[in-house]
Amino acid sequence: MAKLTGKALVAQGGGPTAVINQSVVGVVLEARRFPQITHVYGARHGVSGVLKEDFLDLGQTTTQNLEDVAVTPASGLGSTRDKPDGEYCLKMFKVMQAHDIRYFFYVGGNDSSDTCRIVNEQARATKYDLCCVHVPKTIDNDLVGTDHCPGFGSAAKFVGQAFAGANMDNRALPGVYIGVVMGRHAGFLTAASALGRKFEDDGPHLVYVPERVFDADKFVADVQKVYDKHGRCIIAVSEGVSDKTGAPIITSLKGAEKDSHGNLQLSGTGALGDLLADLIKAKTKIKRIRADTLGYLQRSFLGCISQTDAEEARAVGQKAVQFAAMHGADGSVAIKRVGDYAVNYELIPLDAVAAKTRHMDDAFINAEGNNVTEAFLKYCRPLAGELPTQDRIQAPHVVKIMPNK
Amino acid sequence: MAKLTGKALVAQGGGPTAVINQSVVGVVLEARRFPQITHVYGARHGVSGVLKEDFLDLGQTTTQNLEDVAVTPASGLGSTRDKPDGEYCLKMFKVMQAHDIRYFFYVGGNDSSDTCRIVNEQARATKYDLCCVHVPKTIDNDLVGTDHCPGFGSAAKFVGQAFAGANMDNRALPGVYIGVVMGRHAGFLTAASALGRKFEDDGPHLVYVPERVFDADKFVADVQKVYDKHGRCIIAVSEGVSDKTGAPIITSLKGAEKDSHGNLQLSGTGALGDLLADLIKAKTKIKRIRADTLGYLQRSFLGCISQTDAEEARAVGQKAVQFAAMHGADGSVAIKRVGDYAVNYELIPLDAVAAKTRHMDDAFINAEGNNVTEAFLKYCRPLAGELPTQDRIQAPHVVKIMPNK
């Protein structure tokens, strides 16, 4: 493809992450290097902003503003759950054509990569010269073709720090603690709950991911066993755990809501945690049972960022522009792990990524299906980076001198 | 009182905080300066550890270990919800007497200060020379006689960062977001949700604290009004909000659990958030409604600490030892604000603090009872410290060129 001259458009789709703005800033600053890219526009609220011709002229931002936005969680341009069909795309093209937009960078997860694929196909079908690059992001880490996804590392760090703290809190006031973790149908983020384990008896003691069938009786037995051993039990459960029929545990509850992609509402409710807490209350004699649903903080908490994740999120934005502007290539930017720890960036075909879901490797889950393996921790640690210092009091017990009663 | 020669005992009671270990470390390191304090023991799990003679010899810790523990959230010695009565105290004295313990430092909130008061009275009644000092901590900030409580600043910072992120997430994908915040019957921590507001339309747009009657109809009307104005709405609600009869909103739900102090279980369940989300769903036409319960992360998240809070938590431990060892005084350490921003430390009588609950000043709550005032933010900002950088994209809109349909 000859070098396209025209404007670039960047947009963000799907659930925000702590570093998704890094990718937009990567696109904007990199695009400024290429003379054939005449302007960089940002569509507000993803593809819906294209339809509404709701663009910001990102060429008219200061570098300082962009750098401040880069460290800010959530999608600075706004996001959307809209999934364009053919008609939707046709309307988008009319707007893009009117503005002479020739480069489209869409930062998002697997739904957004599918959107990107549809837009790209429509562009070809209508013979509109448009270079489409999907820039990966998702805290779920469930994109295929990439070693990991920008956004996951920071969310993993948050989850690791949350469970490290919950473990110590639970050690101070023992009982059962359930933490429900995001990630939809992939268990990576739930597995990251184990990142902060330091001592032999540290929690989470049990980790349930959607890659394994969730059996309520086995769950209760697991909890009882850990409680008998340690006098306490910390449990990480993925919001997407399912029973043997494949039905999410949460579907038995009323009011389950689906989005426009047909996805079930798994987040933004404490229902699953409360359900599991009630189950333990009903089936055991354990008294102090608490359930937290980590919720939107996992993807949006201000000030919990993995440095590696932030740098890679910036880099995928920069590489997207390079692949497009230097090679005129369509595709999805993928991260390849080439060292321990180093990465390269590649462009892979859009249809290799679109609407596909990656799951955890078998090697990352223990045989019993209720914990993570050292292989997972080895995979995950460089992505989340080092967790803050924590320690226990290391002091000898005082010899008891009271007479036995 | 003459200088008492003997051992010191330090313990932690009630819910942990992010900086409660700073206070223990403050006690331990300061106690080492006084020759008449022969040993420093730490009771595991508060008063229950005294009863069980479960002591650690904190003189045999390294300074490095203590400093690492100091930056670790949750009670390193373990905590308890036990509330000693006369008989319980008598058993404690026998153990204390056997070990020649003459200084008792109890780090805790209003329940723990009451425990401290009972122990102190029993000591006098049995003519056992014991110096009792209560070292304040609570994320609820509800102790009387002190400007604020160690532990609150870090929790306030966490809540501020959580809502700052939730605000941006909600701006990216608009709807209604409810965040339920700890604090029992005091609204300080919920009010801290406003710390991260920066732009005019930033959330939380509504803040409900237990100091004002929670009216469900007014709540729904407030939400609708904000939603009509901004197309979105962020709400911070205290776990302890009550109706006009004084009954917590959560009591209408089944399975409410009380602890040994007669306190209702307000935390460790997503029930209140889900209840309020259902209310909005039922009474309005707003579609995207999400509720998070911030949960135990507020007090135990690893790596979210206010520097001022950490320093003051260390200082109250140090001052407790100084008041006891230099002046032989019983009491509770209180923080007095003497500048903007600086503090002094005083010792106030135990019965001035014990089992009393401080509420938010009227000046901290707006007239409508659904938001905080600038006076509160001025009070709170130095305690939480500066929040991480956040910014919006500052770019002009692109002029629309599409013909009107």
Residue type at A293 in one-letter notation: T
pLDDT tens-digit profile of B367-405? 999 999 999 999 999 999 999 999 999 999 999 999 876
Contact B182, B265 (CB under 8 A): no
Number of H helices, E strands in chain B: 12, 11
CA B213/CA B358 separation, integer angstroms: 17
pLDDT tens-digit profile of B295-311? 999 999 999 999 999 99
State in Å, rounded, how far the first CA of chain B is from the last one: 89
Q: What percent of chain B has a predicted confidence (pLDDT) above 90?
A: 80
DSSP A398: P
User: For the whole model, what pTM was predicted?
Assistant: 0.96
Q: Which residues of A are catalytic?
A: 140
- Residue contact B168–A74, C-beta within 8 A: yes
Question: Would the pLDDT of B257 be above 60?
Answer: no
> In what order do the strands lie in the sheet containing A131-136?
A55-57, A37-43, A6-12, A101-108, A131-136, A331-339, A342-348
pLDDT band at B282 (very low <50, low <70, confident <90, very high): very high
Question: Would the pLDDT of B255 be above 50?
Answer: no
- Residue contact B398–A71, C-beta within 8 A: no
In angstroms, the separation between the Cα of residue A92 and the nearest Cα of chain B is 11
Contacts of B46 (CB under 8 A, 6+ apart): B11, B12, B13, B14, B77, B78, B79, B80, B82, B106, B108, B112, B115
Question: Would the pLDDT of A187 be above 80?
Answer: yes
Please list every residue in chain B whose beta carbon sits closer than 8 Å to the beta carbon of residue A173.
15-16, 75, 78-81
CA A312/CA A337 separation, integer angstroms: 12
**Beta bridge pairs of residue B345:** B335
- Residue contact A268–B292, C-beta within 8 A: yes
pLDDT tens-digit profile of A93-128? 889 989 999 999 999 998 888 888 888 888 888 888
Q: How far is CA B31 from CA A270, B161, B317, in A?
A: 45, 36, 10
Structural domains of chain B, ranges and CATH numbers in brackets? 6-150+305-352 (3.40.50.450), 152-303+360-384 (3.40.50.460)
Determine which of B53, B97, B393, B399 to mutate to test the interface with A (most A C-beta atoms within 10 Å).
Answer: B393
Q: Which of A278-287, A337-346, B119-128, B254-263 has the lowest mean pLDDT?
A: B254-263
What pLDDT shows up at residue B236? 98
What pLDDT shows up at residue A254? 39
Question: Would the pLDDT of A256 be above 80?
Answer: no
Name the burial class of residue A225, with classes exposed (0-12), middle (13-18) and buried (19+) by CB atoms within 10 angstroms of its CB.
Answer: middle
Q: Which of A157-161, B276-280, B318-322 has the lowest mean pLDDT?
A: B276-280
pLDDT band at B254 (very low <50, low <70, confident <90, very high): very low
Question: Would the pLDDT of B259 be above 60?
Answer: no
What pLDDT shows up at residue B85? 83
- Residue contact B79–A172, C-beta within 8 A: yes
pLDDT tens-digit profile of A359-384? 999 999 999 999 999 999 999 999 99
DSSP A199: S
Q: Which of A206-215, B105-114, B182-191 has the lowest mean pLDDT?
A: B105-114
- Residue contact A172–B75, C-beta within 8 A: yes
CA B374/CA B372 separation, integer angstroms: 7
CA A246/CA B114 separation, integer angstroms: 52
CA B374/CA B204 separation, integer angstroms: 14
Q: Which residues of B are catalytic?
A: 140
- Residue contact A297–B166, C-beta within 8 A: yes
What pLDDT shows up at residue B2? 59
Residue type at A77 in one-letter notation: L
What pLDDT shows up at residue A260? 59
pLDDT tens-digit profile of A294-331? 999 999 999 999 999 999 999 999 999 999 999 999 99
Q: Calculate the average pLDDT of chain B.
A: 93
**Beta bridge pairs of residue B110:** none
For residue A196, give the nearest of B79, B302, B397 by CB distance.
Answer: B302
Contact A23, A316 (CB under 8 A): yes
φ and ψ of B33, to 5 deg: -75, -20
Please list every residue in chain B whose beta carbon sits closer than 8 Å to the beta carbon of residue A72.
168, 389-392
Question: Would the pLDDT of B53 be above 90?
Answer: yes
Contact B10, B43 (CB under 8 A): yes
pLDDT band at B246 (very low <50, low <70, confident <90, very high): confident
Q: State mean pLDDT over A133-139.
A: 97
Determine which of A157, A292, A404 to mutate to test the interface with B (most B C-beta atoms within 10 Å).
Answer: A292
In angstroms, the separation between the Cα of residue A345 and the nearest Cα of chain B is 27
DSSP A350: G
* CA B374 to the chain's CA centroid: 21
Nearest CA in chain B to A9: B398
> In what order do the strands lie in the sheet containing B342-348?
B55-57, B37-43, B6-12, B101-108, B131-136, B331-339, B342-348
pLDDT band at A255 (very low <50, low <70, confident <90, very high): very low
Determine which of A178, A302, A390 to mutate to test the interface with B (most B C-beta atoms within 10 Å).
Answer: A302
Q: Which two tokens stand for residue A290?
A: 């608490």
* CA A50 to the chain's CA centroid: 25
At A396 the three-state DSSP class reads coil
Helix axes A307-327, A152-172, angle to 10 degrees: 170
For residue A165, give the nearest of B269, B300, B391 by CB distance.
Answer: B300
Q: Which two tokens stand for residue B294?
A: 């911030």
What pLDDT shows up at residue A220? 96
State in Å, rounded, how far the first CA of chain A is from the last one: 89
Question: Would the pLDDT of A405 be above 70?
Answer: no
Name the burial class of residue B67, with classes exposed (0-12), middle (13-18) and buried (19+) by CB atoms within 10 angstroms of its CB.
Answer: middle
φ and ψ of A49, to 5 deg: -70, -30
- Residue contact B270–A278, C-beta within 8 A: no
Q: Which two tokens stand for residue A181?
A: 């973790």
Q: Calculate the average pLDDT of chain A.
A: 93
Contact B250, B238 (CB under 8 A): no
Give the strand pairing for B37-43 and B55-57: antiparallel
pLDDT band at B256 (very low <50, low <70, confident <90, very high): low
Nearest CA in chain A to B59: A395
What pLDDT shows up at residue B268? 67
What is the ipTM score, two decimals?
0.95
Question: Would the pLDDT of B192 be above 50?
Answer: yes
Q: What percent of chain A has a predicted confidence (pLDDT) above 90?
A: 80
Q: State mean pLDDT over B114-129.
A: 86
What pLDDT shows up at residue A331? 95
